[in-house]
Amino acid sequence: MIDELIYDSRRLVALKAVHNFRDMGGYPTENGQTTKWRTLYRADGLYRLTPEDAQAVIALGVRTVIDLRTHREVENRGTFPVEKFPVTFHHLPIIDTTWNDNQTPDIEDAVEFLVWAYRDMLKIASPRFAEAIEVIASTDVLPVVFHCAAGKDRTGILAALILAMLGVADDIICADYGLTQAGMQRLLAWAKINQPELAVTYAQMPARFAAADPRAMAIILNDLHTKYGSIQNFVLEIGVTQATTSILRNSLLAPL
């Protein structure tokens, strides 16, 4: 059942230079609804979009782009081509420096490393996730895409929080997160041919940096349930209002 949901043919938006652009529609919720198709998207680095890719994104109806990368990433690599296409752009950096620019624990196991990283991110950056959620709940925003560099960590946590707020089950949230593993493989295969310097960068990274193991997300969700009683309680704790939750459910859910 989960595989059918996750691997729905509508899920992956096939683009030439962006490899983890995914529709978050079609996921059932605890109240008998489903997340809407063609309304909420998650993605990797949209700065790589070709003109044809960007036009394809606009053709999806996307009105808003939320870039979760650091100031340095935006300065060094650029953004979605906002000057050429009619979107509202929000730069909402979740963290100030990436793992490559920081000292990280020498944890070889990928799951253990991701759990450390995501716990740290939620501890430090929770208000920034709350800000991104509030933007998505704003008027005249949808359809919206949010992204970071690989569409894995910052994007993955934000996607998990939103899906949980909508009432999607943890096992589906974790499976959705795990789809990034295939996205990373597509990115690396493309980079070797089209952007060798990026391929070299990834080759020089510790393997744990590129991991997207669903078991790590399961541990993080369990953390939040254990400490706060529910993920909805957690988002309220970090500053997301109940009104925002209601708005998201009204705008992002549809009858089954």
pLDDT band at 101 (very low <50, low <70, confident <90, very high): low
pLDDT at 106 over 90: no
Q: Which residues are registered as beta bridge partners of 168?
A: 29
Q: Could you read off the pLDDT of 35-87 as tens digits, one per residue?
A: 999 999 999 999 999 999 999 999 999 999 999 999 999 999 999 999 999 89
pLDDT of amino acid 36: 98
90-105 mean pLDDT: 87
Give the separation between CA 242 and CA 127, rounded to whole angstroms: 15
The model's confidence at residue 1, banded by pLDDT at 50, 70 and 90, is confident
Dihedrals φ, ψ of 44, to 5°? -95, -160
Domain range holding 186?
A: 2-255
Judge whether residue 222 has pLDDT over 90: yes
Contact 179, 214 (CB under 8 A): no
Does residue 214 register a pLDDT over 90?
Answer: yes
The whole-number pLDDT of residue 28 equals 98
Q: Is a pLDDT exceeding 90 seen at residue 100? A: no
What distance in Å separates the CA atoms of residue 50 and residue 4, rounded to the nearest whole number?
Answer: 30
DSSP string of 66-86, one letter each residue: EE-S-HHHHHHH--S-TTTS-
Distance from C-alpha of 217 to C-alpha of 83, rounded to nearest angstrom = 36
Strands 64-67 and 144-147: parallel
What torsion do the CA atoms of 218, 38, 27, 234 make, to the nearest 10 degrees?
A: 50
- In the prediction, which pLDDT does 160 show? 98
Mean pLDDT (the chain) is: 96
Q: For residue 7, what are the CA distances in angstroms to 10, 114, 215, 242?
A: 8, 24, 19, 32
Q: For residue 231, is pLDDT > 70?
A: yes
Exposure on the CB side of residue 4, measured as CA atoms within 13 A: 2
Domain at 233, CATH number: 3.90.190.10
Distance CA 85, CA 213 (A): 35
Which has the closest alpha carbon to 129: 168, 157, 152, 151? 157
248: pLDDT strictly greater than 80 = yes
Residue 175 has pLDDT above 70, yes or no: yes
Tally the domains of the chain. 1
Spatial CA neighbour of 46 closest among 22, 21, 80: 80
6: phi then psi, degrees, rounded to nearest 5: -70, -40
Q: What is the mean pLDDT of residues 123-145?
A: 97
- % residues pLDDT > 90 (the chain): 91
Higher-confidence residue: 196 or 99?
Answer: 196
